[in-house]
Chains A and B, each alone.
Chain A
Amino acid sequence: MTIRSFLRHETILLLLLVIALIVLAQQSDRFFTTDNLLNQARLMAEVGLLALPMTFVIVTGGIDLSVGSIFGLAAILLGVFWHGLGLPLPLAMALAVLVGGIAGLGNGLIITRFNVPPLIATLATLALYRGLAEGISQARSVRGYPEWFFVLGQGEVLGLPTQLWFLLAIAIAAAIVLGLTTFGRTTYAIGANEVAARFSGLNVARTKLLIYTGSGLVAGLAAVIFVSRVSTTRSDMGTGLELDVITAVVLGGTSIFGGRGTIIGTLLGLILMQALKSGLALGGVKGDGTIVVIGVVLIAAILLGNLLSRNGDG
């Protein structure tokens, strides 16, 4: 009974996705090819990675607008650590991911220590972290990475794009953590009623801190993968990425008010978005048309979910 209602949005989404895939496959015979599908997986890896911790963030009733900026900051610092400070590249990569984590921790501290609403806190750090990226890089690019580094973003492992393995591994881990562990249960409880969670002896502040830190860490990782994919660092990397990420998560059925949402939903939302982008392009629709379609699909999916769940409640 509850399992069914729990999965209701995901079911709708799956249905929508199947319909979209069928329609898009009709539009172009090049859409439903292994080649294209793997390629799309490569393209959506960064947004996908960011969407996973964002699901946790939104389930707690929060939001993280700064992921795009953390992404940019980590990318820039990867270049700076390696090229500017002359550190070995593997160490620079680790440090870049770590910087992402620290930036996320900064968000978490502002939110938990000072009770600043996440929307505002991350709106501020959106500007702050991007500003740091621009200030540090002085807008210069770092290029000329060694060949092995590109395996991460451009290579393949066992026939699948390398980053897809990362995405899959973290997605599975995220699904298990959110769905089956005490941490996940705490996350839902915080989103549904933060006060009651605290009064039940759950460590609300620590949980949120971990989630925002995780969001930063994954943003750092995504940045490293992205740098590897495009072979260069620039301070404007990831601008506007947060909107794509949030769209995928919300499309996936996670309630913006918190307390509800699943990793599977997020993945479905992500795939639907990417399928639309690719399929419509192959079908001859231009980029601006695709943007409109995604906007409409977002509103329509939530609308549909609302209508059905209201009927269900009686």
Chain B
Amino acid sequence: MSFDVMQSRPSFPRRLLGFVEANGQEAIILAAIILLFVVVGVVNPRFLGNSNLTSIFSGNAYIAVAAIGMALVIISGNIDVSVGSLIGVLATIAGTLAVNGYPIIVCWLAPLAVGVAINAFVGFLVAYVRIPSIVVTLGMLSVLKGGLISATAGAWINNLPPEFMLAQFRPFGVPAPIYFMVTLTLLAALWMRYSGFGRTIYAIGGNPDAARVTGIRIERSIVCVFMIHGFFAGIAAVLFATQLQVIQSTVPPNLELTVITAAVVGGVSILGGTGTVIGSTLAAILFAAIGSALIFTNVSAYWLRAVQGLFILATVLADMARRRRLR
């Protein structure tokens, strides 16, 4: 019986699956974003207003930037659950330097350097000492979070100099975070496709044994991946720190889960080896759009998390169906 079904014209889900397989998760998310814009736009045209689109795109830009690094980490077959704490620490470093009158460029670059340094250590523990990344970063989560509060005693940072506020610049009327998000995503996407190292990351995540005998220096590559991730976390931290006039010295709640979710929903498989950074950025935008749409459609904010959960589940199921055909 099932024999006949298989022989007949492919059913709709099957064709949809084929579409996803050909165009990837990115296409699905893009379609979801467009659908959301159209539906909510009809309900309330202000949703598509210039200012709202701008805030949707810029509001989650720092999450998108952090998700780029996270995507690389996950593609390489690892994970980082400490990224939220790391961003909190780096933002505080940037703010402290700025308040103490260091040159602005130093304030912007220091978090990148520190992020790279901290994650070089994490990468070292993962690659050379062979502690699973989830364990290392679970530990780092505690260390960074506790350390941050110890060091700052919980004080907020006020009186930031105006020229420090990178995220508030609006060249040509468009907020700076959008430039960062778009440029970094495109650069990272091109780099992942056209650089030798980019392909190496896929190789390590896809088949580490094969990567080793192919002559790839896995340990070094994993350390590099974590360092790049730290670099992106640094940029995200600067965007995060310069968005408002104050910097909270606590870690933004659940930030790591949001970043991981953006990467995963964007089509980065948790099993390693697949995914693109364009998908993760689109997913970050989608989350911002959903949050905004819930307010516009007067859906009780209580159900926001339930909606998000369902959404993650749906995209993951699609991903599993796609992968099953590859194996």
Contacts and interface: CB of A to CB of B under 8 A. Distances in A.
Nearest to B321: A114
B139 A299 contact: yes
Nearest to B258: A127
Contacts of B63: none
B20 to A, nearest CB: 15
Q: Identify the interface centre among A127, A132, A139, A290: most chain B CB within 10 Å of its CB.
A: A127
A250 B132 CA distance: 11
Tell me whether chain A's interface is mostly helix, strand or loop, or mixed. helix
Contact of B142 (A114, A138, A295): A295
A306 B135 CA distance: 12
B57 to A, nearest CB: 23
A292 B142 contact: yes
Nearest to B306: A131
Contacts of A85: none
Q: Identify the interface centre among A115, A124, A247: most chain B CB within 10 Å of its CB.
A: A124
B305 interface: yes
Interface of A: 110, 114-117, 119-121, 123-132, 134-135, 138-139, 243, 246-247, 250, 256-257, 286-296, 298-299, 302-303, 306
27 contacts: A115-B324, A116-B313, A116-B320, A117-B271, A120-B316, A123-B257, A123-B260, A126-B257, A126-B309, A127-B305, A127-B308, A128-B306, A134-B303, A243-B81, A243-B138, A243-B141, A247-B142, A256-B134, A257-B132, A288-B145, A288-B147, A291-B145, A295-B138, A295-B140, A296-B139, A299-B140, A303-B125
Q: Identify the interface centre among B79, B149, B306: most chain A CB within 10 Å of its CB.
A: B306
Contact of B135 (A138, A250, A286): A250
A134 B79 CA distance: 28
B320 A290 contact: no
Contacts, number: 130
B225 interface: no
A139 B150 contact: no
Given A123-B264, A250-B135, A302-B135, A135 B302 contact: yes
B129 interface: yes
Contacts of A119: 79, 270
A115 B320 contact: yes
Q: Identify the interface centre among B145, B260, B302: most chain A CB within 10 Å of its CB.
A: B302
A299 B82 CA distance: 13
Q: Identify the interface centre among B140, B147, B304, B309: most chain A CB within 10 Å of its CB.
A: B309
A123 B261 contact: yes
Interface string B117-160: 00000000100011110111011111101111110000000000
Q: Which 5 A-B pairs have the closest CB atoms?
A: A131-B306, A128-B309, A295-B142, A291-B146, A131-B305
B312 interface: yes
Given A123-B257, A288-B147, 13 more contacts: A119-B270, A120-B316, A124-B316, A131-B304, A131-B308, A134-B302, A139-B302, A286-B150, A288-B145, A288-B146, A288-B148, A302-B131, A306-B129
A132 B2 CA distance: 38
B29 to A, nearest CB: 16
Nearest to B261: A123
Contact of B306 (A127, A295, A303): A127
B317 interface: yes
A290 to B, nearest CB: 7
Contact of A256 (B129, B132, B150, B307): B132
